[in-house]
Amino acid sequence: MGLTIRQKADRIGTFRFVSVYLMETLARWVPTTPELEAKVLFGRHLWDFAQHADGLGRRTGELRAAAHYSPRPADAYMTVLDTLAGASGTVERVAGFYDGFLPDLEARYRRYLTETDALNDEPSVRIIERILHDLPRLHADRSAFAAQRPDLAAQDAAWPTRIGALSKGAGNMVIDRPLARTAAAV
């Protein structure tokens, strides 16, 4: 059995929240990161997350939620996002974002594809497939950045590993609303 409409909306909306949060994180980093190559990397990818948020937000409006419905993730996952956003050095920002955070986000998108009915929920599936198509390009750009700026390579993997572990350990990021029937009974 696949997800209910409400569960789909909550998941897609939470992904949208995360996309907007990542867009804003990169926006915060652009003027506060000194290195031109890093600014360019963040600046170009910020647009990718805006487009992801846009597609996901349009979809929530088709799932009996408001367009651009964006519920806040569970506290444990918010801690991950806030920890990532709090990185202050260029090395920590790049490594934390691309090496630590994104792989777990990708895994969460893939998990959604296994949980939902691919035909019944095809519009969501297409949006997520497009997002998954973008992510390797972001990693390729990050690799090109590493080649341009070898002086900004992470000296130890502890930070991205910590972000990755925090992300994985956060468990389910979605706060499900009560089932409609239950809510009506109340």
Partner 1 sequence: MSAAAEDTKVVGGVELRRDPAREPCFTVVQTDAEMQEWPDMSDISRRERLHRHMNNETGAMEIAARCLLDFPDAPWDLRMSLARQVADESRHARLLYDRLRELDGYKGEFPIANFEWGVTLMLEDLPGRLAVQNRTFEAGLIDVLGTLRNRWREAGDDVTADLLEGILADEITHVRFANRWIKRITEQNPRTLLQVAMAVRFLGRVNEQLAPKPGDANAVGIQWTEERRLPPAVNVEDRRAAEFTDEEISEVLRQAGFRSILPVGALGN
**E-strand stretches of the chain:** none
Q: How far is the CB of 62 from partner 1 (least distance, A)?
A: 16
Cβ of residue 15: shortest distance to partner 1, in angstroms? 16
Question: What is the separation of C-alpha 128 from the centre of its chain, rounded to a whole number of angstroms?
Answer: 11
- What is the nearest approach in angstroms of partner 1 to the Cβ of residue 72? 13
Residues forming contacts to partner 1 in the complex (CB under 8 A) are 23-24, 26-28, 30-36, 39-40, 42-44, 46-47, 49-51, 54, 57, 68
Q: Which helix (H) or strand (E) holds 155?
A: none
Supply the DSSP string of 64-109, one letter for each residue.
TS-TT--PPPPHHHHHHHHHHHT--SHHHHHIIIIIIIHHHHHHHH
Q: How many CB atoms lie within 10 A of CB 169?
A: 12
Q: Which residue, 34 or 184, is less far from partner 1 as judged by CB?
A: 34
Cβ at position 147, least distance to partner 1 in Å: 14
Q: Between 24 and 176, name the residue whose CB sits nearer to partner 1.
A: 24
Closer residue to partner 1 (CB): 4 or 143: 143
Tokens 């792989």 -> residue = 103
The residue (of 139 and 149) whose beta carbon lies closer to partner 1 is 149
The amino acid present at 91, given as its one-letter code, is V
